[in-house]
Amino acid sequence: MKSIKSYAAYAAEKPLAPYALDRREPGAKDVEIEILFCGVCHSDIHTARNEWGATQYPAVPGHEIVGKVTRVGESVTKFKAGDTVGVGCFVDSCGHCDNCKDHQEQYCENGNTQTYNALEQDKKTLTYGGYSTHIVVTEGFVLSVSDKLPLEKVAPLLCAGITTYSPLRHWGVKAGHKLAVVGLGGLGHMAVKLAASMGAEVTMLSRSPKKEKDAAELGAHHFKLTTEKDTMKELANTFDFIIDTVSAEHDYNEYLALLKTNGVMILLGVPPVPATVAPGQLIFGRRSLVGSLVGGIKETQEMLDYCAEHNITSDVEMIRMDQINEAYERTLAGDVHYRFVIDMATI
Ligand code: NAP
Ligand code: ZN
């Protein structure tokens, strides 16, 4: 497919702008998808602005993709034209390392292929993401999406949903656990919904007083302002789990102090600067500081099915493609309720 419409970042300090993108013709195992909706993840902003230092321009972000299959290669068995499908944060992996064999392609030992700003498994072709009209993805990395839920609200599940679902499952979060979510944005609001649906007692830790009412509607049982002096003292030794979704530099030690003995703080946010952790915060209390990356394809399908069954979707604000730069600024200002989603018909 030649010269399809997309939006790209051309340089760290420049706004995104239209870009004519070439996609490969679908090979035997490929699925060609017309993109209907694409969510706007903070990782898109980190990448567009080269905050992680590895952006190759022009870069087309977007990894919360929902659309319809338009064509399939001759060996494709799982999908046919007209099916509703999703694509998340990665589009291929080696397929033979221990992690790939264990359905954890996100931790592919030979390097998976992220949906944008990454290399295909040929290790030379760059990938371009979902701020575009079409994408071509190998069958094994395409997800089935139920038509039961509004598709624009499903799109953010492909990253924000699976990124929060996976650690909740891995650490077995359930009724009886006290869990805090730090940062009420795209990931944060999905963490609240999913953790509450699994029975945990959820506390929202935010710096934004305006979000208190929303947090309750999303399912949080408690709301505490991290900017208030007494909050941290009051909550010391309270939580079994903390899910940290903050995208900018902040002090992990303050939050570690809120964990009970054996508590686990799960980092999901990827601030572009290294953190300093006081060993005593971990040692006194045998606490763990861990991280988690999206989720494998099998688990992503399980999450989509779980959300369809439990009627869980993202709270979205729809934008036109040409509003993307404004949406980035609003996201950076914490003014997102709670995921911007691009209507790709407007490109
Ligand atoms: P987002 O929608 O911008 O939400 C981030 C939230 O963090 C904000 O709404 C704000 O919540 C809080 N925050 C922002 N700056 C802060 C600061 N300086 N101090 C304290 N709190 C601050 O971002 P997102 O899309 O959820 O992504 C969050 C992070 O996760 C990003 O770094 C992204 O790259 C990363 N990510 C990781 C994975 C993974 O696999 N681990 C996957 C996707 C994204 P309040 O207003 O409530 O304080
Ligand atoms: Zn993302």
pLDDT tens digits for range 179-213:
999 999 999 999 999 999 999 999 999 999 999 99
Question: Are 250 and 265 found together in one domain?
Answer: yes
pLDDT of residue 229: 85
180-to-137, 165, 222, 238 alpha-carbon distances in Å: 36, 14, 9, 9
Nearest 5°: CA angle at 199, between 158 and 146?
30
Residue 250 CB less than 6 A away from ligand 1:
yes
Question: Are 154 and 165 found together in one domain?
Answer: no
pLDDT tens column, 136-177 = 999 999 999 998 899 999 999 999 999 999 999 999 999 999
How far does residue 244's CA lie from ligand 1's centre (Å)? Answer: 8
Q: Which of 249, 272, 291 is the last residue of a domain?
A: 291
Give the three-class secondary structure for 320. coil
Q: State whether the Cα torsion 170-46-157-99 is positive or negative.
A: negative
Count of the separate structural domains present in the chain: 2
Non-local (6+) Cβ contacts of 33 within 8 A are 65, 67, 68, 69, 70, 85, 87, 134, 135, 136, 137, 142
Q: Which of 251, 268, 291 is the last residue of a domain?
A: 291
**Residue span of the structural domain in which 35 resides:** 2-159+295-346
Question: Are 34 and 60 found together in one domain?
Answer: yes
If you search the block for the tokens 């999913």, which residue do you land on? 194
Answer yes or no: is pLDDT of 41 > 90: yes
Residue 269 CB less than 6 A away from ligand 1:
yes
Question: Are 143 and 6 found together in one domain?
Answer: yes
Q: Which atom from ligand 1 is nearest to the alpha carbon of 160?
A: 43
Residue 263 CB less than 6 A away from ligand 1:
no
Q: Which atom from ligand 1 is nearest to the alpha carbon of 267?
A: 41
140-to-88, 143, 297 alpha-carbon distances in Å: 12, 8, 8
Residue 42 CB less than 6 A away from ligand 1:
yes
The pick from 246, 319, 330, 335 for probing ligand 1's pocket by mutation, whose C-beta has the most ligand atoms within 8 angstroms, reads 246
The pick from 49, 163, 187, 319 for probing ligand 1's pocket by mutation, whose C-beta has the most ligand atoms within 8 angstroms, reads 187
Question: Are 51 and 132 found together in one domain?
Answer: yes
Q: Which of 291, 319, 338 is the last residue of a domain?
A: 291
Question: Are 22 and 112 found together in one domain?
Answer: yes
Question: Are 18 and 142 found together in one domain?
Answer: yes
Question: Are 175 and 310 found together in one domain?
Answer: no
Q: Report residue 309's pLDDT band, with 50, 70 and 90 as the boundaries.
A: very high
Question: Are 193 and 203 found together in one domain?
Answer: yes
Q: What is the CATH number of the domain that holds 63?
A: 3.90.180.10
Tell me the longest C-alpha to C-alpha distance in the chain.
63
Residue 190 CB less than 6 A away from ligand 1:
no
Residue 162 CB less than 6 A away from ligand 1:
no
Q: What is the CATH number of the domain that holds 270?
A: 3.40.50.720
How far does residue 26's CA lie from ligand 2's centre (Å)? Answer: 25
Question: Are 18 and 113 found together in one domain?
Answer: yes
End-to-end CA distance of the chain, in Å?
17
Question: Are 242 and 119 found together in one domain?
Answer: no
- What pTM was computed for the model? 0.98
Question: Are 29 and 178 found together in one domain?
Answer: no
